[in-house]
Amino acid sequence: MTAPLMPKATAVWLVENTTLTFKQIADFCELHELEVQAIADGDIAYNILGVSPISNGQLTQEEIERCQKDENARLVPNPLEKNVKERNAKAKKILSPTQRAEKPNAVLWLIKNCPEVIDSQICKLIGTTKTTINAIRTGTHKDMANLRPINPMAVGLCSEKDLEKAMAISQQQAELKENKGKKKTKKKAQKKKTAKKAVAKKATAKKAAKKTTAKKAAKKTTAKKATKKTTAKKPVAKKATAKKAGVKKAVKKAAKKTMTKKATAKKVTSKKAVAKKVSVKTVAKKAAKKTTAKKATAKKTVAKKASIKTVAKKATVKKAAKKTTAKKAVAKKAATKKTVTLKEETKKMVTKAPAKKATTKPAAKKVAAKPAAKKAPAKKPVAKKAPAKKPVAKKAPAKKPVAKKAPAKKPVAKKAPAKKPAAKKAPAKKPAAKKAPAKKPAAKKAPAKKPAAKKAK
């Protein structure tokens, strides 16, 4: 049954003006039941105006009332409406220019997505010729570069039902062809089998005939040979018996010889075995001696190496001790040199200091002279050196240039900072600093020189 001219509009009118079920309306309008429910809810076709099928002559009021009473009943359209539907179905095949232009695209889509559809069914669905279909399949169509596969249902060239029918028909035809091909192949196979069987039977019959003839000929030849052998065996049998007797004697002699050879061979082998054992023992003794000698030499070499190592260790220890003693001696020498230099510097500084005091403070001569008198016995050698200083006293006026030379001695004082690196080892020099109080008596001896100055006067 084909749908009415305006299925959604008629469905809208039936939903609004009747109490028919969604299923009845969907069957009449060829819509889905859920689609009709959506129309009733207002989700779909809310802008479409309803069209009454009664005024169009598609249905009668009596038919609608009958279906309203029975929910399982189906709406039956008027007979005139049926004819109108058939006309409309035929009129739908008239296509627009755009639809005609898209026919090759639809053919390409069917070839790619529905390869099981036959060319005849494609011609009925889309309204083309087999030549165009073959040209599109082989790629020789004039607009092949511009063709793009388009669904014919989307364009309106055919419906889903038509496509499904075409696919079903093409499948049936394909099955029929396959069945025909199978039947033909079966018949051919049966014919081949029968022919092979006939040929095999003929071959077996020929082989059987040949075998029978060969057997007969063989029997005849065997019979002839048997008669000849019987006649020839009698003199041969006598000769054979004589040969057998001679062979037995020869065999006995050969057996005796082999026995004697075996006995001699056993004796020889036993002697050889004894000789081998003796040689093996001697070889083992020699090997044992060699191993013992090697072990002894190895022990000696090990002992020598150990002694050499100990000697080397001792030598290294002695060298290390010598190095340490040499380092200590060098350190001691350096320390003594530093102490000597410090003492000399302190002596120079002390000797310079009292000379200045003698020029500036003559009043203190008497006070300092008293302790010098007490220690006179120890200072006699100093008094003896006084004459050496007399010329200095005589040339008292010439002391002024000595005073002028004082700046020349300043560089000696300036050189003291160069000895500061030795000051970094202050902890080693502290003992020398502690000995400073022992030099104070030398400072007290300065007044002893003052009497020499008096003599100069």
pLDDT 10s digits, 332-344: 888 888 888 888 8
Q: Which of 18, 22, 88, 19 is nearest to 53 (CA)?
A: 18
How far from 63 is each of 9, 51, 78, 389, CA to CA, in Å? 19, 17, 9, 171
Ramachandran region of residue 156, left (φ > 0), alpha (ψ -120 to 50) or beta? left
What integer pLDDT is reported at residue 418 of this predicted model? 42
Q: Which of 55, 58, 1, 59 is nearest to 30 (CA)?
A: 1
Residues 256-297: pLDDT tens digits?
888 888 888 888 888 888 888 888 888 888 888 888 888 888
Q: Report the Cα–Cα distance between both ends of the chain, in Å, rounded.
A: 170
Alpha helix segments (H runs only) across 102-159:
103-113, 119-126, 130-138, 152-155
Neighbours of 4 (CB within 10 A): 23
What integer pLDDT is reported at residue 109 of this predicted model? 92
Residue located via tokens 């007979």: 79
61 contacts 54 by C-beta, under 8 angstroms: yes
Distance CA(285)–CA(306), nearest Å, equals 32
Distance CA(25)–CA(17), nearest Å, equals 12
Residue located via tokens 């070839």: 111
Residues in the chain: 457
Distance CA(77)–CA(88), nearest Å, equals 15
What integer pLDDT is reported at residue 307 of this predicted model? 84
Neighbours of 98 (CB within 10 A): 9
Burial class (CB in 10 A: 0-12, 13-18, 19+), 24: buried
Q: Token pair of 385, please?
A: 């050196």
Distance CA(341)–CA(86), nearest Å, equals 144
Distance CA(214)–CA(204), nearest Å, equals 15
Distance CA(74)–CA(61), nearest Å, equals 14
Distance CA(137)–CA(330), nearest Å, equals 112
116 contacts 170 by C-beta, under 8 angstroms: yes
SS3 149: coil
**Per-residue confidence of the chain (457 residues) as pLDDT tens digits?**
556 778 899 999 999 999 999 999 999 998 999 999 999 998 888 888 888 998 888 888 999 999 999 989 998 888 765 555 555 555 555 677 888 888 999 999 999 988 888 998 899 888 889 999 999 999 999 988 999 999 888 888 888 888 888 888 988 888 888 888 777 787 788 888 888 888 888 888 888 888 888 888 888 888 888 877 777 766 666 777 777 888 888 888 888 888 888 888 888 888 888 888 888 888 888 888 888 888 888 888 888 888 888 888 888 888 888 888 898 989 988 888 888 888 888 888 877 655 444 444 444 344 333 433 344 344 444 334 444 444 333 443 444 443 344 444 444 444 434 444 433 444 444 444 344 444 444 444 444 444 443 443 3
Ramachandran region of residue 198, left (φ > 0), alpha (ψ -120 to 50) or beta? alpha
Residue located via tokens 């063709």: 147
36 contacts 25 by C-beta, under 8 angstroms: yes
